[in-house]
């Protein structure tokens, strides 16, 4: 089988439908098994894209229109300059564990470096494949930090 060539670029509104469809396919499958609707994810991606600091990227197969993955995030101020909050990162199920995610992440890091964004911050679930992927790609966990959440319906 011939090795597929891929390319990366910034995400545009023209990518919305494919990003939403592939998002639902990836996160509805193992290990996440999320119950997602088109309306939820369309609204989520639209909200992200409306942020004035939104930075989204996609990876495609060369010579086809096949979307292989996407990254959604935003740049935010930090006392050391700016950091990129990587809110969502995924590779389509059929293309996972083929090195595409590593190449895609390297592309994103290079893009952010040109914007003088020196840090990428993300959160993921412990014990899921994503944790191993990020650790293998130069990320570290912060022992001094935890993720907390609260409903606005509760005091």
Q: In this predicted model, what pLDDT tens digit does every residue of 52-105 receive, in sequence order?
A: 999 999 999 998 878 999 999 999 999 889 999 999 999 999 999 999 999 999
Q: How much of the chain, in percent, has pLDDT values that exceed 90? A: 75
Residue 49 has pLDDT above 70, yes or no: yes
Q: Is residue 147 part of a domain?
A: no
Give the pLDDT score at 155: 67
Q: Is residue 153 part of a domain?
A: no
Q: 129 or 9: which carries more pLDDT confidence?
A: 9
Q: Is residue 47 part of a domain?
A: yes
Give the pLDDT score at 3: 57
CATH code: domain of residue 45: 3.40.630.30
Tell me the pTM: 0.90
Q: Is residue 146 part of a domain?
A: no
**Domain residues for 98?**
6-136
Count the domains in the chain.
Answer: 1
Residue 1 has pLDDT above 50, yes or no: no
**Can you tell me the mean pLDDT for 35-52?**
97
Q: Is residue 145 part of a domain?
A: no
> How is the chain classified by DSSP, letter by letter?
-PPPPEEEEE--GGGHHHHHHHHHHHHHSTTT-----HHHHHHHHHHHHHSTTEEEEEEEETTS--EEEEEEEEEEEETTEEEEEEEEEEE-GGGTTSSHHHHHHHHHHHHHHHTT--EEE----TTSHHHHHHHHTT----TT-------TT--
Give the pLDDT score at 144: 84
Give the pLDDT score at 19: 97
Q: Is residue 128 part of a domain?
A: yes
Q: Is residue 144 part of a domain?
A: no
Q: Is residue 75 part of a domain?
A: yes
- 10 falls in which pLDDT band (50, 70, 90)? very high
């Amino acid at each position: 089988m011939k090795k597929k060539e891929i390319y990366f670029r910034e995400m545009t509104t023209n990518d919305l439908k494919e990003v939403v469809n592939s998002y639902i396919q990836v996160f509805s499958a193992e290990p996440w098994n999320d119950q997602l609707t088109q309306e939820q994810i369309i609204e989520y991606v639209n909200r992200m894209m409306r942020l004035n600091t939104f930075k989204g990227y996609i990876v495609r197969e060369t010579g086809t229109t096949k979307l292989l993955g996407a990254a959604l995030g935003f740049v935010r101020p930090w006392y050391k300059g700016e950091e990129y909050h990587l809110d969502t990162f995924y590779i389509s199920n059929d293309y996972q564990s083929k090195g595409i995610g590593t190449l895609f992440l390297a592309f994103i890091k290079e893009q952010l470096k040109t914007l003088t964004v020196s840090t990428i911050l993300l959160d993921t679930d412990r014990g899921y494949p994503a944790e191993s992927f990020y650790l293998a790609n130069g990320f570290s966990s912060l022992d001094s930090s935890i993720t907390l959440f609260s409903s606005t319906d509760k005091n």
